[in-house]
Amino acid sequence: MTKQITKGNEAIVKGAILAGCRAFYGYPITPASEIAEAAALYMPQAGGVFLQAESEVAAVNMLYGAASTGVRAMSASSGPGISLMQEGISYLAGSELPCVIADIMRGGPGLGNIAPEQGDYHQVVKGGGHGCYRTLVLAPNSAQEMADLTIEAFDLADRYRNPVFVLADGYIGQMMEPVEFPEAMAPPARPDWAVFGTAESRRNLITSIYLEPDKLEAHVLKLEAKYKRAEREAVQFEDWRTGDAEIVLVGYGIVSRVLKQVVEQGRARGLALGLLRPISLYPFPVERLRELSRTARKFLVVELSTGQMVDDVRLAVDGRCPVEFYGRVGGNVPSAEEVLAELGLPTSHQPLVTSHGTEEVQVYA
């Protein structure tokens, strides 16, 4: 298909429909509202269902019902709405129901503001609901990846029978870029574990309740084995000039695009920089970070938060070299110049002074 100039939020919906998604349940919230708007427009055209629930609590339970029938289904929200969904997300994971949820992150805590942040990392990546469960999490950094990773999220959800998050900051959701969409795929056949109102599916029971302790333990250990398998099979990351890097920058989402500029500008000033961008936040690229820690002098993690992913980087590096942190919050995104200054390099705001004949000339690095 030809490329379309598409907002990141809309690209999620188009990607979902092309992946065979036929049900969307949600409640609008800035900066994710365009997802619900696009789903309301396009989902019925594809023969699917769009329903604006009365709340995020209702939406996630509708998602549970649709996923129980084996239909590819999704929801979307931002931080406050994701908070309301957490109990339902735990139920979805406990019942092993595949689905996709998009979280377009805004400033917090509390009402915060509608500007971009990455403060939902702990809530989504670590599992904000109750019990021992995980959700797989993909982090796009472009409108193209909003489509591509949403398509992949549905495949991962089916493969691991688990909820999968598409986690993006508000910048990625709101920006408009050219997106090339793939050919549409037919919705997959209903799985044999689903319930869909027939005599054949009557034997299936979709639940997360195991009242007998040994049975619940066996179920939780089964889930844990599935997550360990995902940690071996589903890790994704982007290496950017890390082969000879002395300092490795780590960031995801909009931050990773800023950090690519930092790498290029830093190398032009003689500093061997590289970028490791986690694409899957869970499972996390632990092994690659560990490999880089054997040759790097230090890591610098940059986030739109006060430091959430940095904990995972430090665990992966395990003390082999220093891990430093730089963050902005409140909807502020660091510039390349800010990060270069954090690295100790002069920027256009820090002139180098040299002499030229009898005159003093300012040279801007």
Q: Where are the domains of the chain?
A: 4-233, 238-363
CA atoms within 13 A on the CB side of 164: 26
Rg of the Cα trace of the chain?
22
> Rounded CA gap, 114 and 160, in Å?
33
Find all residues with CB under 8 Å of 218, minimum gap 6, and list them: none
Task: Please give the pLDDT value at position 361.
Answer: 28
- How far is the C-alpha of 161 from the C-alpha of 348, rounded, in Å? 51
How many secondary structure helices (H) and strands (E) does the chain include? 12, 16
For position 197, what pLDDT does the model report?
83
Reduce the secondary structure of 174-190 to three states and give it as a string.
Answer: HCEEEECCCCCCCCCCC
Which one, of 25, 28, 75, 70, lies nearest residue 51 by Cα? 25
- What SS3 state is found at 364? coil
How far apart CA 92 and CA 238 sit, in angstroms, is 30
Query: What pLDDT shows up at residue 1?
Result: 62
What is the DSSP pairing of strand 163-169 with strand 237-240?
A: unpaired
Fold of 238-363: Rossmann fold (3.40.50)
Asked if residues 193 and 158 have their Cβ atoms less than 8 Å apart, the reply is no
Q: How many CB atoms lie within 10 A of CB 183?
A: 6
CB 75 within 8 A of CB 59: yes
Contact 352, 363 (CB under 8 A): yes
Residues 6+ apart with CB under 8 A from 177: 5, 6, 8, 142, 143, 144
* Per-residue confidence (pLDDT) for residue 348, from 0 to 100: 59
Is the domain defined by 4-233 classed in CATH 3.40.50.2000?
Answer: no
Note the pLDDT tens digit of each residue in 247-271: 999 999 999 999 999 999 999 999 9
> What is the predicted pLDDT for the residue at 347?
67
C-alpha dihedral (60, 66, 72, 77), degrees to nearest 10: -20
4-233 and 238-363 in the same fold: yes
* CB distance 39 to 212 below 8 Å: no
Residue 352, number of CB atoms within 10 A of its CB: 10
The model's pLDDT over 257-310, given as tens digits with 9 standing for 90+, comes to: 999 999 999 999 999 999 999 999 999 999 999 999 999 999 999 999 999 999
**C-alpha to C-alpha distance for 325 and 241, rounded to whole angstroms:** 20
Instruction: Give me the pLDDT at residue 168, please.
Output: 98
Flag residues of the chain having pLDDT under 70. Answer: 1, 347-365
Angle at 99 between CA 97 and CA 102, to 5 degrees: 145
